Amino acid sequence: MSEKEVKSLEEIFEARIARDEKIEPKEWMPEKYRKTHIRQISQHAHSEVVGMLPEGNWITRAPSLRRKVALLAKIQDEGGHGLYLYSAAETLGISRDELIEQLHSGEAKYSSIFNYPAVTWADMGTVGWLVDGAAIMNQVALMGTSYGPYARAMVRICKEESFHQRQGYEILLTLCNGTPEQKEMAQDSINRWWWPSLMMFGPRDADSPNTEQSVKWKLKRKTNDELRQAFVDQTVPQANILGLTIPDSKLKWNEERKHYDFGDIDWNEFWQVVKGHGPCNKQRIDARVKAHKDGKWVRDAAMAFAEKQENKEVKLAI
Ligand code: FAQ
């Protein structure tokens, strides 16, 4: 294709983005748009799948059958989100095997939050309330993203995440209305998860290399800082209802801005975790690699069955 032809395709593409049209898999798109989407969608998929691990740890220790059923359902939903998202990434011309390899080799990232340990039952409440809450804040904006398969995956994912957030909040509400020890367990959990939850939104806009272009392409509909602020504003009143204290001495309503001011995030901790030096990075990747290895016979059997069915169909057609 000549340079002139590419330029004209680029202009048509930019005009479609400006009209808020969705871009679909087989349509022309700039190579950088395709690559950026593979990066973000696959990292999102990896986060959903790795995100099953901290909660998976609590299935056998849930305090009642009802809690166990709800937790199991939630974790299965997260696995399903990973599958929709891997499928959406595959429409951009990358294979599932390549995506998985990128996760296992450390080339692809997944959300920093899942490198923290879930050490008490209250953490199941906090992960649902804060982590799913942060995920929804980000993903509701992504329902309006410009790439069709990603935007459509988000619609269903957001519905499920909102159930997850409620089940988490309800776990905390129960603990906060329970014994002093239970309430203390809830407070301790918020103390540990609050700051990592704010880090989920990514670096400050000023330090985010991808935001400017992603906002122009309408991949991101809101910036990292805008979403983080919206999350704080939404979450503080919910903490007040629980009677829990957010561990930030600088947290204060700003009447002029009509937003909460909040303290400084430890960006050094964030980058350490992103670079693989968080409390559970190694454990998480080892668990994923092991699961993939242990599941090989299932994939082989499914492929062999599919091949056999295909041969049968070819024979029938002849
Ligand atoms: N952790 O320039 P930006 C969930 C990386 S789903 C690790 O701002 P971007 C469900 C970033 O990749 C949670 N890395 O990047 C659930 C980039 O590195 P790269 C996941 C991070 O992409 C709940 C570099 O830093 N949600 O929780 C993080 O424009 C409960 C520079 O950053 C999504 O993935 C981080 N927190 O903005 C499951 C949503 N932040 O790739 C189980 C979709 C940034 O250039 C239980 N993703 N980095 O090497 C997004 O919206 C965006 O990708 C951001 C980052 C906002 C995460």
Q: Which residues line ligand 1 (CB under 6 A)?
A: 39-40, 43-44, 47-48, 51, 78, 109, 111-112, 127, 131-132, 135, 138, 199-203, 208-211, 214, 224, 274
**What is the Å distance from ligand 1's center to 122 Cα?**
25
**187-232: per-residue pLDDT in tens?**
999 999 999 999 999 999 999 999 999 999 999 999 999 999 999 9
Average pLDDT for runs of 10 along the chain of length 318: 87 96 96 97 98 96 96 97 97 97 96 98 98 96 96 94 96 98 98 98 97 96 97 98 98 98 98 97 98 96 92 78
The CA distance from 252 to 236, in Å, is 10
Taking a C-beta distance cutoff of 8 angstroms, is the pair 52, 69 a contact?
Answer: no
State the CB neighbour count (10 A cutoff) for residue 13.
Answer: 19
Taking a C-beta distance cutoff of 8 angstroms, is the pair 188, 244 a contact?
Answer: no
Terminal Cα-to-Cα distance of the chain (whole angstroms):
41
pTM above 0.85, yes or no: yes
